[in-house]
Amino acid sequence: MRTLPHELVRCARALVGGETRHDYAFVVRDGRIEDAGDYAPVAERNPRLSARSFPADRLIVPGFINGHSHAYQILLRGWADDWTFAKWRSDALYRVVPQLTPDDIYWTFIAAFSEMLSAGITTVAEFFYLNGKGNAHAEAALRAAEETGIRLVFARAWMDADYAPPQFRESIDVAQARTLELMHAYPWANVCVAPHSLHAASLEMIRAAADFARVYDCTMHVHAAEASYEGRATLEAHGATPIDLLDRLDALDDRTIAIHAIYITEEEKRLLAERGARVIHNPMTNQYLGDGICDVSQLQALGVPMGLGTDADVKPSLIDEMRAASLLQKIARTDGSALGARAAFDLGTAQGARALRIDAGDLTAGNAADFLALDASAIDPWTPEVNGVVYRGQDSWVQAAFVGGARVYTGEPSPLARLAQQKLKEISQRVIP
Ligand SMILES: [Zn+2]
């Protein structure tokens, strides 16, 4: 267990709500930001506190929020690139996952979470579907999060449809019981429920998952409308397109986190907004798999809370996702003013946290003390810092990452991360065809 500091953090330069602040300070206590503002009054209100100071060549920003990930998929990258989605799923994903042992999962997740921290990702919503034989696999992933220090939102998947690989299928009762078990055993892990999708979970299971979320006060993550065939399939089978269908199942409310939401109608966009549902956009993966472009601009205009995810984790980088989110909207609308740097930064930080229903994503009182020290020397003096990060930022700018005020990344790979790299070599030789 890391010791949680009680200290005052003084920043010569910080990004707060996307805006540059000079000589900004915040007080960290019990893992949260207790007080924040201009240095002088904060220091006056909090005398005798030990201080940690960052000079002007360091830009202090909130830790990035990764709203959707399948961390084990780092094992698929490289050798399964440039395939169609169907081939990638059948010849890479479904070939590798049945072979993974809890130990393989532990080391793969150590590697993936360490990589995320080195890219400034301090929270990850891990959509975990490698279940089926109990919670041993899930617990390996949870242990990896705890040991790397990344903040976790553990979206425990449920699957029961024929479409899902047999080893992942569970009955509703079993999935419910195992999810509850994890919730009780890992109270720090924000365990929530995740019926996989409208094709891999039955309608009864999705309905049960939505009930579960209401009863146990958690969110419900669900893949929806990533590809155009899904809408055709649900329309044919159930007479409704995916978001509309979720609504008819009483599974669309402010606990619903729809992953992707690319192929949706104007009416479904309004429905998402009316129900208070959230959307996670995965622009790098959507490009990598040739999915399509989510209408972020319109969803934002309607007030749908949204975040960004690294999904297939080919290169888990929230800076890349922020940049891609912005550039894709400009292309989709052929409008250079669409989704600017500040809006993209908000998706990757404060709004992303709101979408996941966690208090994080900004350097203001009440939020988790999750922050990064970026090497800001490459930002031109005439460039607003937020633009510098989104359009020119590199993961290598991350010099340190703090979660709950504790430093979990120091600018170079930890001994554990190095060991995981060695283990991955062995695992890959065994599981990659
Ligand atoms: Zn996904």
Where does the pLDDT of residue 250 fall: very low under 50, low under 70, confident under 90, or very high at 90 and above?
very high
Q: Say which residue, 216 or 2, is predicted with more confidence.
A: 216
- The yes-or-no verdict on residue 165 having pLDDT over 90 is no
pLDDT for position 132: 75
pLDDT for position 104: 97
- The yes-or-no verdict on residue 35 having pLDDT over 70 is yes
pLDDT for position 167: 85
Q: For 292-305, what is each residue's pLDDT tens digit? A: 999 999 999 999 99
Measure 163 CA to ligand 1 centroid, in angstroms: 16
Topology of the domain comprising 7-63+360-415: Urease, subunit C; domain 1 (2.30.40)
pLDDT for position 258: 98
pLDDT for position 85: 84
CATH number for the region 66-355 comes to: 3.20.20.140
pLDDT for position 203: 97
- The yes-or-no verdict on residue 2 having pLDDT over 70 is no
Q: For 134-143, what is each residue's pLDDT tens digit? A: 999 999 999 9
Where does the pLDDT of residue 1 fall: very low under 50, low under 70, confident under 90, or very high at 90 and above?
low
Measure 237 CA to ligand 1 centroid, in angstroms: 23
Q: For 324-355, what is each residue's pLDDT tens digit? A: 999 999 999 999 999 999 999 999 999 999 99
**Structural domain boundaries in the chain:** 7-63+360-415, 66-355
Measure 270 CA to ligand 1 centroid, in angstroms: 23
pLDDT for position 419: 98
Measure 261 CA to ligand 1 centroid, in angstroms: 12
Measure 162 CA to ligand 1 centroid, in angstroms: 19
Measure 68 CA to ligand 1 centroid, in angstroms: 7
pLDDT for position 166: 85
pLDDT for position 164: 80
pLDDT (mean) for 354-380: 97
Measure 403 CA to ligand 1 centroid, in angstroms: 24
Measure 69 CA to ligand 1 centroid, in angstroms: 6
Measure 312 CA to ligand 1 centroid, in angstroms: 7
Q: CA–CA separation, 273 vs 355, rounded Å? A: 12
- The yes-or-no verdict on residue 407 having pLDDT over 80 is yes
Q: CA–CA separation, 269 vs 283, rounded Å? A: 18
Q: For 64-106, what is each residue's pLDDT tens digit? A: 999 999 999 999 999 999 998 889 888 998 889 889 999 999 9
Where does the pLDDT of residue 4 fall: very low under 50, low under 70, confident under 90, or very high at 90 and above?
confident
Q: What percent of the chain has pLDDT over 70?
A: 100
Measure 152 CA to ligand 1 centroid, in angstroms: 16
Q: For 191-211, what is each residue's pLDDT tens digit? A: 999 999 999 999 999 999 999
- The yes-or-no verdict on residue 129 having pLDDT over 90 is yes
Q: CA–CA separation, 141 vs 182, rounded Å? A: 12
| Mean pLDDT for all residues in the chain | 96
